[in-house]
Structures are given as C-alpha cells and as structure tokens.
Amino acid sequence: MDNPDKSLIFEACVETLEDALAAEQRGANRIELCSALDQDGLTPSRELTRLCVQHLTIPIRAMVRPRAGGFVYSVTEIRQMEKQIEFFKQAGVEGVVFGLLTEHGSIDIENTRRLARLAYPLKVTIHKAIDYTTEILKSFRELNLIDGITSVLTSGGMDTAWNGRFLLKEMHDLPERRISIIAAGKVLPENRVLIAEFTGITELHGKRIV
C-alpha cells in the first residue's frame, strides 16, 4: 500500500530480507532491522544486515540489543553493544536503535551518551526502553539534552500508540523538544493517519504498518 500522505514516514520493523523487501514494496519509507521480534527485537546478524543494505533502496536502522529482558546492562554487555555499533557504522545503515536504563528505572545517561557519541555520524534512536522508565516525560526531556540522539521510539507508556496518544502529543508539543518522536505500538494502515493527526507526530513504526 503506497503512502497516501507523503509527509508521513512509515518505519517497518522486520527480521528477514524477504519481509524488508515486501515492506519496501508496500510503501515503507524506512526499515528497523532486528532479529527475534518475538522477544521485541534483538541485534540482527551481520549477514542479514549486509544483505539488506545491498538489496534495499530505503534507509535501514539497526537494533542494538544484545539480549532479551530488561534494559539494565552490564559492562560486558555495553562493550558488546559498542562492537555492534562499530560494525553498523561501516555496514552502510542509516542509524542504530538502542535503549539503556538504570536499576532505578531512569535513563542511563552516562552510557547512553557514550554509545551516542560512538555511533556518530549515524542517526540514533532510543527505543521503547523509555516506556519502562518511572517518568516518561522527564526521561524524554533528559534525552533531548544528549548530543547525537535524533529520535525516540515510544507508545507513550501504553500498550498501543493510540492509547498513549495524549502523552505522545504532550511529548511532541514540548517547547524544548529537539529530537523527533516515532510513534509505535500496534500502528496499522487503518490507524496510522489518525495517530499522526491527533499527536502531530509524522514518523510511525510497526511490524504491520504497511
């Protein structure tokens, strides 16, 4: 299905080359490349990444998530994430997607800043880890102060983007906002324009967005 509103960006979340090509054909503007979508997405393999870069014409953002479960990472896991980011920098993707929290349910500012600095000049998206923080709006304000972060993927702390639409709109309308918001959470062809119109958000993400 083609994008009826050219001002909107539809990002399809995929875990195979076939799904990526199909999403592009159906009008996706961008791909978030993962493995293990049944575990909410982990880092894709190097081989899959290279194949997608080779065969797709739309931008690719690659997930950097070394394991399933929470988003509080050990020193060893952060080193692993650094190596994955280094690979993606030379692989030809447009950006990387990650999220790190502290044990107290806030953004891990120090390590987020460190990974964002390492990822430069790639685009950096902070994923739905933000929805697991104790104060989402406060976390969003903090992320806006970190150099190198370009977007945040969120459902406004709810199970779907539509149910989180009020907080999504509040985040979008923050006067100090300088990073874009990507609305996620059961975003489908039948509700994606409604979500965009209500919140003002022009980037939308989903497994079945197109």
Confidence class for position 1, pLDDT limits 50, 70, 90: very low
Neighbours of 129 (CB within 10 A): 22
Tell me how far apart the alpha carbons of residues 63 and 177 are, in angstroms, rounded to a whole number: 24
Beta strands in the chain (DSSP E): 9-14, 30-33, 60-63, 95-98, 123-126, 151-154, 180-184, 203-206
Mean pLDDT of 73-88: 98
Segment 11-20, tens digit of pLDDT: 999 999 999 9
Segment 112-152, tens digit of pLDDT: 999 999 999 999 999 999 999 999 999 999 999 999 999 99
**Domains defined along the chain, listed by start:** 9-206 (3.20.20.380)
Tell me how far apart the alpha carbons of residues 179 and 116 are, in angstroms, rounded to a whole number: 13
Segment 26-79, tens digit of pLDDT: 999 999 999 999 999 999 999 999 999 999 999 999 999 999 999 999 999 999
H-assigned helices in 31-177: 46-55, 75-91, 109-119, 136-143, 165-172
